[in-house]
């Protein structure tokens, strides 16, 4: 992306390589010995061939940035005639199609895999060490309107913001379909896929409600959904789970007065593949040579596809303990002690005065190294009050389901997670109305039940139900899901529990949807950090229908 007075170009890289782990099964079913494969990928729009700082100095700086990164493959945007000299200086193989997009690789090109328009896509099958292969596609996504230049964006008009990036969504949707068709067939069966580039659109994860304090508005950008929905994972967000607009932004190191956004991505898909690190590169000793920062992702094929999910629910009362003191560090320690992969949190503040105006979701996620999501009930105390989710596994999407109003507005937070087993799972967090008359509560439960009925993936429903077994609220969910815990495990109040109102339930197996088996469950005897005790469980995905 460049200022509106200049043409803009971007690219996505797609790289494939068959999985190899010690004694693992490769893409064609053969067992292979040797180290796990890895691939370090850079996506970088170098801005007018890198020549904005001179015909010689600019490309030299581009080479130096790439050399310093140590990457194996570069998906380059705005190559514009500079590709051959840059690749030669790096000692890389060079593959281009048209003037814009190109691929530079330390590994040889075996086959051209290009699809779509020459200006927007180039593809190459690469020969990796050990007989493995990688397919790389570089593409460029257009945009409909300029909303990055200073003074051109109105966050009060989300419709106009979405319209500005609609061309990117339409283009990526069509190009993804072409890529999938090109890679169909036995020659590419089972190979993992890596995607990176300049989407000219932002991420729906960055602009979720958890980022309200940084972006000022929640926007569900459709462009980034395209690859997430197709089974890809955003490598940068996978390894940098906490939203940090200043650190994350790739547009633009050269124009700090403009809107700073993350619009360059590295995605990957494939059994056993994970990102081990990812970073944004935006500096050079003599001045960074492009208006885009570069994204570097280090990928490895050594992940273990575990089947277990360690999950917990905890009403944290905005960090206020039984001693009346708000202490988010104490809350973080209590959550850490749960040793959970996923924790659903109720009564969470984001920028609220009573809890120090901090983004409690991001702060807890930063302290625990987990992916955050937030669902706001309502504006409160100068910020937002609601519920949150923390996950060690990447979040595919998270959305607030507005429930019928009760004594306070309520939402359910529904998040799809990318589980290491390769199976996406859904976690639905609830905090129902609390008053004795259950009319509002039962109405809210009905809305959640309808959502659960629409889900194709296995799910866990958990949270503060503010109701007990035998109530019509619990009976509604018991008609469609199974309890994780046995009856008789009170959770409230924490210093002398008398009521069981915090629950975990899981989906039953359906055709095409695996069930769950429960390995363990307990109410954790934490009596100080909140007025509720947390409940944690270990579940295991069962590929065959679970016995009941």
The answer to whether residue 6 sits within a structural domain is: no
Mean pLDDT by 10 residues, the chain (548 residues): 36 31 28 70 96 96 98 94 97 94 93 90 84 81 94 94 97 95 87 84 97 96 96 95 96 96 92 92 97 95 87 98 96 97 98 96 97 96 97 96 92 95 94 90 96 96 96 96 88 96 95 90 96 97 58
Q: What is the pLDDT of residue 353?
A: 96
Domain finish residue from 252, 269, 300: 300
Q: What is the pLDDT of residue 367?
A: 97
Q: Are residues 233 and 347 in the same domain?
A: no
Q: Tell me the C-alpha distance between 200 and 401, whole Å.
A: 28
Bridge partners, 504 (sequence order):
462
CB within 8 A of 399, min separation 6: which ones?
220, 375, 413, 414, 415
Q: What is the pLDDT of residue 8?
A: 35
CB-count burial class (<10 Å; 0-12, 13-18, 19+) for 155: middle
CB 328 within 8 A of CB 365: no
CB 6 within 8 A of CB 262: no
Domain finish residue from 300, 320, 352: 300
Q: What is the pLDDT of residue 18?
A: 28
Q: What is the pLDDT of residue 11?
A: 33
Q: Are residues 41 and 174 in the same domain?
A: yes
CB 296 within 8 A of CB 5: no
Q: Tell me the C-alpha distance between 61 and 50, whole Å.
A: 8
Q: Are residues 105 and 249 in the same domain?
A: yes
496-548 pLDDT, tens digit per residue, is 999 999 999 999 998 888 889 999 999 999 999 999 999 999 999 986 444 44
> Considering Cα of 198, then 273, then 232, then 340, what sign does the dihedral take?
negative
Q: Are residues 39 and 121 in the same domain?
A: yes
Bridge partners, 310 (sequence order):
538
Counting Cα atoms < 13 Å in the Cβ hemisphere of 420 gives 19
Q: What is the pLDDT of residue 356?
A: 96
The answer to whether residue 323 sits within a structural domain is: yes
133-186 pLDDT, tens digit per residue, is 778 888 889 999 999 999 999 999 999 999 999 999 999 999 999 999 999 989
Q: What is the pLDDT of residue 221?
A: 98
Q: Are residues 128 and 102 in the same domain?
A: yes
CB 385 within 8 A of CB 349: yes
Q: What is the pLDDT of residue 33?
A: 54
CB within 8 A of 198, min separation 6: which ones?
1, 9, 10, 11, 12, 43, 45, 77, 140, 141, 250, 263, 264, 292
Q: Are residues 475 and 362 in the same domain?
A: yes
Q: Tell me the C-alpha distance between 247 and 311, whole Å.
A: 30
End-to-end CA distance of the chain: 56
Q: What is the pLDDT of residue 131?
A: 80
Radius of gyration of the chain (CA): 25
Instruction: Cite the DSSP H helix spans in 410-538.
Output: 439-453, 472-478
Q: Are residues 322 and 251 in the same domain?
A: no
The answer to whether residue 7 sits within a structural domain is: no
Domain limits at 412?
308-542
The answer to whether residue 548 sits within a structural domain is: no
Phi, psi of 365, rounded to the nearest 5 degrees: -60, -40
Query: To the nearest 10°, the Cα dihedral for 178, 179, 184, 188?
Result: 160
Query: How many folded domains does the chain comprise?
Result: 2
């Amino acid at each position: 992306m460049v200022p509106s007075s200049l043409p803009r170009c971007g690219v996505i890289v797609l790289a494939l390589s068959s999985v190899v782990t010690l004694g693992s099964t490769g893409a064609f079913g053969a067992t292979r010995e040797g180290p796990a494969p890895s691939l370090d990928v850079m996506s970088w729009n170098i801005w007018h061939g890198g020549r904005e700082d001179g015909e010689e100095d600019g490309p030299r700086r581009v080479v130096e940035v790439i050399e310093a990164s140590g990457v194996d493959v570069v998906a380059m945007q705005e190559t514009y005639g500079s590709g051959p000299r840059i690749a030669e200086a790096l000692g890389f193989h060079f593959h281009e199609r048209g003037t814009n997009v190109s691929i530079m690789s330390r590994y040889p090109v075996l086959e051209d895999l290009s699809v779509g328009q020459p200006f927007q896509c180039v593809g190459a099958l690469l020969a990796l060490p050990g007989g493995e292969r990688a397919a790389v596609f570089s593409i460029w996504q257009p945009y409909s309107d300029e909303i990055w230049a200073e003074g051109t964006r109105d966050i009060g008009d989300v419709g106009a913001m979405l319209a500005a990036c609609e061309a990117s969504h339409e283009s990526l949707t069509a190009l993804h379909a072409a890529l999938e068709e090109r890679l169909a067939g036995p020659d590419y069966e089972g190979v993992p896929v890596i995607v990176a580039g300049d989407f000219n659109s932002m991420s729906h994860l960055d602009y979720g409600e958890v980022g309200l304090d940084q972006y000022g508005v929640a926007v569900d950008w459709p462009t980034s959904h395209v690859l997430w929905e197709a089974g890809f994972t955003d490598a940068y967000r996978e390894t940098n789970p906490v939203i940090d607009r200043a650190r994350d932004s790739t547009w633009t190191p050269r124009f700090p007065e403009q809107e700073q956004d993350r619009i360059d991505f590295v995605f990957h898909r494939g059994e056993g593949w994970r990102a081990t690190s990812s970073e944004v590169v935006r500096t050079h000793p003599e001045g960074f040579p492009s208006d885009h920062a570069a994204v570097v992702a280090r990928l490895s094929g050594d992940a273990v596809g575990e089947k277990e999910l360690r999950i917990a629910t905890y009403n944290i009362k905005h960090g206020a303990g039984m001693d009346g003191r708000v202490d988010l560090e104490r809350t973080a320690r209590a959550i850490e002690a749960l040793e959970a992969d996923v924790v659903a949190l109720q009564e969470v503040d984001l920028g609220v005065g009573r809890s120090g105006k901090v983004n409690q979701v991001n702060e807890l996620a930063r302290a625990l190294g987990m992916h955050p999501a937030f669902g706001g009930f309502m504006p409160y105390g100068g910020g937002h009050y609601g519920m949150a989710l923390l996950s060690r596994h990447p979040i595919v999407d998270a959305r607030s389901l507005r429930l019928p109003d009760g004594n306070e507005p309520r939402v359910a937070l529904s998040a799809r997670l990318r589980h290491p087993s390769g199976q996406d799972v859904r976690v639905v967090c609830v905090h129902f109305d609390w008053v004795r008359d259950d009319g509002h509560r039962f109405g809210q439960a009905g809305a959640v039940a309808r959502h659960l009925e629409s889900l194709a993936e296995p799910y866990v429903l958990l949270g503060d139900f503010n109701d007990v077994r035998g109530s019509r609220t619990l009976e509604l969910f018991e008609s469609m899901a199974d309890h994780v815990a046995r009856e008789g495990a009170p959770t409230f109040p924490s210093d002398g529990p008398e009521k069981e109102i915090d629950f975990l339930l899981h989906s039953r197996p359906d055709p095409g949807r695996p069930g769950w088996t429960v390995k363990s469950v307990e109410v954790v005897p934490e009596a100080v950090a909140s007025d509720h005790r947390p409940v944690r469980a270990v579940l295991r995905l069962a590929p065959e229908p679970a016995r009941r």
